[in-house]
Structure 1
Amino acid sequence: MAKASSQELGNKSIGKLLIQQAVPASIGILVMSLNILIDTIFVGNWIGPTAIAAINMVLPVSFFIAALGMSIGVGGSSIISRALGADNEKKALKTFGNQITLTIFITILFVIFGLIYINDLIPAFGGKGDIFEPAKIYYRIVLYGVPVLALCMMGNTVIRAEGKPKFAMYAMMFPSVGNLILDYLFINVFDWGMTGAAWATTGSYIMCFIFILWFFLSKNSELKINVKHFGLDLPIVKEIGSLGFVTLSRQAIVSVTYLLMNNILFDLGGETSVTAYAIVGRMLMFALFPVYGITQGFLPIAGFNYGAYKYDRVKQTIYTAIKYAALLAGIVFIFLMVFPETITSVFTQDAQVLKETPPAMRWVFAATPIIAVQLIGAAYFQAVGKAIPALLLTLTRQGFFFIPLILILPNFYGEMGVWMSFPIADVLATIVTAYFLHREVKLNLKPKTTE
């Protein structure tokens, strides 16, 4: 597919390409994160701190189902990027059609399951005591819109794989702004409480879907699919599944982490500790937006050039992405170490939460300057279609290190042991990722012009 927008990935300077891809991705992530952040501020100030904890209970379930769309999107987009690099239009189109079919079918099944077992899932994720009822209200309404969110997550990664980062940014910005407007109307003006917060979120998913549908139906997209592309192709489904399983496993581990953290912290400190974790979790989504933007921008560049056998450019992309991401992570680290009290006070004026959250935030972000290697390293293997190492490196931080640490350290250090687990897991995961990335570059990224 000899379109300039995708072919530029193999020709432009890496630094310019990375900025071109990462800046819109970062802005999109920033706006989406601000949406979540301000949504939490609105809920905390207009409904109460318990409502923040209630939303935190729902996130693991809704995020996991949405991650099904993201995993299908990332897995398929890796194929699409490499197919575009190899000028294989037929495979790119068939892959996109299969992504849509898989996303719709799988997410609807999970939503049905989630609604049937609503009264079991919420307590399992820590929605106990005063948290249960508001969490149930929010959960049910948001779950209705999650298949739409999954389609948005899938479509957004495909837009980026086409080399259209600005449209991917717009797809994240429009619903985020809309959600804030709906939040104000439904919560503050109409006084709908948790119901208003939930419908504002679901409404934002629909806005995003409308924009993404317009993009693919318009002349802006290179991928013009028809009915024949929706039929499932087993080899493509397997490839999407093997690569997408990496993203799905990461989100599954995140959901398990939420489950364990909410229950452990509820047992150790009650609703206050769960609320503190909810605030810190929002900052994890928000503060690292530029680092995640670099990672998102890195994926299509690495995938395209790997598919075109331009291994020198792949290596240059790896090193440049790590350099940029590390610089940005260092700036984030300084900001969070200096202003955690001020940040916490924006969410709530509850005295106990104000006391507990700042030290927790400092512990959680203590290893932030080194996470660039971890994120880019795992993303590289996914971008080039190496599913097994991508999966293992993705699971390294939370699966192999973090979860065992939060099960062990609180026995010796109480609640502080939970917060200490974050930087220890980051350091260990970065060491492992650096070793395998260095080995991969040395052995398998030798110059090659033909296959």
Structure 2
Amino acid sequence: MNQQNTSAPIAENKMGTMPVGRLVLNMSLPMMISMLVQALYNIVDSVFVAMLSENALTAVSMAFPLQTLLIAVGAGTGVGMNALLSKSLGEKNFKKANQAAENAAFLYFLSFLVFLVLGFLVVKPFYASQVNQADSEIMQYGIQYLSIVMIFSLGMFGQFFYERVLASTGKTIFSMISQLCGAFTNIILDPILIFGLLGAPRMGVTGAAVATVIGQFVACIVAGVCNHKFNPEVRLNFRGFRPDKTIIGHIYAVGIPSIIMQSISSIMTYSMNLILVQFTVTATAVFGVYFKLQSFFFMPVFGLNNGITPIIAYNYGARHKKRMIQTIKVSMFIAFCFTFVGFLAYELIPEALLGMFSASDDMLAIGIPALRIIGIHYLIAWFCIIAGTVFQALGKAVFSMIVSIMRQLFVLVPAAYILASIGGLHAVWWSFPIAEVISLIISAIFLISINRTVIQKIPEE
């Protein structure tokens, strides 16, 4: 029997009543805007660092695998919490929704402790494995930057937790507000701390890391306040809290495949760095710039994902099949629009995009053809991203994990290695479109299976 808290609202949540097109925009638009701002400050961060030197930009770019791992754990745990919490709300089981949030908070704190330790132990050997003694400046910059980001990651994990609780209950406007506060804090502090403006000490690459960490703590505090004041559907009460193995199991049943799926990106970027650095460190800088640029076009799609995951999960719990299907169709169209704009930008203005990062002649010579080749995969990436979101929302995150493993580890990296051996640096970039085609085929097969075995099994309303 479902148990309801006395604080639970009587009215049906908007995720079960609002017209789907409007609901997707209502839930996703704030997340998409905040993700755009997040992408903007990621780009601005690298733009300021690039003004120091190309070595500084390369060092920050090489930090991406471990930064991705941080984000993977935060986002993946949030996916697991979102799916369970939103499904519990759809079933009107408000007690279970509260328990899901409390146990997720516990998991986020444990994650911080793990990365705190790793920040002291693995950063130096991580950089030593990618650069040689002649690039000691890159190693020095990288260790300074990445150590701070990992050791002070509590703000990032707290931000993930509070924002995902807000998103799970449809309060995405407050998630947007918190992310905007954190992003603008970072953007304002970046030039001040990097270059020593307004009386602040000139901290260089270290200043970029400090600005990032302060921005994350600001976002965490704002999101926490918004949860306390404006989110009556989930009430956090840690008095007498004991971890619940069953709840944690449900969270990680969806969350761990998502964490693994996103962590694979860390392995992929690390492997690509090792392949590219054999040609020149400038190639790794180009690869890092590509990831910063792609975030500007993909981050809104990921914001869309964050918005539609609770919608699909809620209506799955409420057995609203038509609303689920409508949500998937609308989100695919929106995702295509964003990735198509990215495709056009990469094909038409690659020189201008690279110019934002103070690109040298060597970087332009490598980067312009690289961006045009990589940009091709934007034409099909939208489908794979939304399909993965559907798998996660319906508790089939293992499908997303399989697609991600196949794409990045079994296709992209081996293809890059083979192409590098056969055709040199220019050929390496074709591994991205090749991998995306394989991802499209596998995602389509899984989505057809999910539709037949899960969605179409729901009785007509």
Distance change in 2, residues 1:155/1:176 (3 Å): same
1:382 to 375, 392, 403: 392
- In the TM superposition, structure 1's runs of 4+ consecutive aligned residues that sit over 3 Å from their partners are 1-6, 125-128, 447-451
2:414 aligned with 1:408: no
Partner of 1:142: 149
TM-score (norm 2): 0.92
Superposition deviation, residue 403 in structure 1: 2.3
1:18-417 to structure 2, matched below 5 A, reads: 18-45=24-51, 47-126=52-131, 129=135, 130-188=137-195, 189=197, 190-228=201-239, 230-268=241-279, 270-417=280-427
CA contact (8 A) 2:115 2:151 kept: no
CA deviation string 1:355-407 (max 9, x = no partner): 21111111112121211210111111101112322322343321332222223
Give the Cα–Cα distance (whole angstroms) in 2 for the partners of residues 450 and 210 of structure 1. 44
Letter aligned with residue 421 of structure 1: S
Give the Cα–Cα distance (whole angstroms) in 2 for the partners of residues 166 and 104 of structure 1. 25
Superposition deviation, residue 331 in structure 1: 2.4
CA contact (8 A) 2:89 2:97 kept: yes
CA contact (8 A) 2:162 2:223 kept: yes
Distance change in 2, residues 1:120/1:5 (3 Å): farther
CA deviation string 1:131-181 (max 9, x = no partner): 101101112222222132122123222211110111111121111110111
CA contact (8 A) 1:329 1:371 kept: yes
Partner of 1:421: 431
Give the Cα–Cα distance (whole angstroms) in 1 for the partners of residues 23 and 406 of structure 2. 29
CA contact (8 A) 2:148 2:210 kept: yes
More helix per residue: 1
Distance change in 2, residues 1:217/1:71 (3 Å): same
Stretches of structure 2 lacking an aligned partner (at least 5 in a row) = none
Distance change in 2, residues 1:181/1:169 (3 Å): same
Give the Cα–Cα distance (whole angstroms) in 2 for the partners of residues 153 and 5 of structure 1. 28
Give the Cα–Cα distance (whole angstroms) in 2 for the partners of residues 177 and 319 of structure 1. 33
Superposition deviation, residue 87 in structure 1: 0.5
CA contact (8 A) 1:144 1:202 kept: no
Superposition deviation, residue 11 in structure 1: 1.2
Q: Could you say what secondary structure the match of 2:92 adopts?
A: coil
2:456 to 442, 446, 449: 446
Stretches of structure 1 lacking an aligned partner (at least 5 in a row) = none
Give the Cα–Cα distance (whole angstroms) in 1 for the partners of residues 430 and 131 of structure 2. 21
Give the Cα–Cα distance (whole angstroms) in 2 for the partners of residues 418 and 39 of structure 1. 27
CA deviation string 1:227-267 (max 9, x = no partner): 25742111111111121112211221111112111111111
Q: Could you say what secondary structure the match of 2:202 adopts?
A: coil
Give the Cα–Cα distance (whole angstroms) in 2 for the partners of residues 42 and 63 of structure 1. 21
Q: Could you say what secondary structure the match of 2:352 adopts?
A: helix
Give the Cα–Cα distance (whole angstroms) in 2 for the partners of residues 307 and 443 of structure 1. 16
Q: Could you say what secondary structure the match of 1:192 adopts?
A: coil
Give the Cα–Cα distance (whole angstroms) in 2 for the partners of residues 70 and 291 of structure 1. 14
Q: Could you say what secondary structure the match of 2:13 adopts?
A: helix
Matched pairs, number: 449
Between the two proteins, what is the percent identity of the paired residues? 27
Partner of 1:435: 445
Superposition deviation, residue 4 in structure 1: 8.1
Give the Cα–Cα distance (whole angstroms) in 1 for the partners of residues 232 and 349 of structure 2. 43
TM-score (norm 1): 0.94
Q: Could you say what secondary structure the match of 2:430 adopts?
A: helix
Give the Cα–Cα distance (whole angstroms) in 1 for the partners of residues 245 and 108 of structure 2. 15
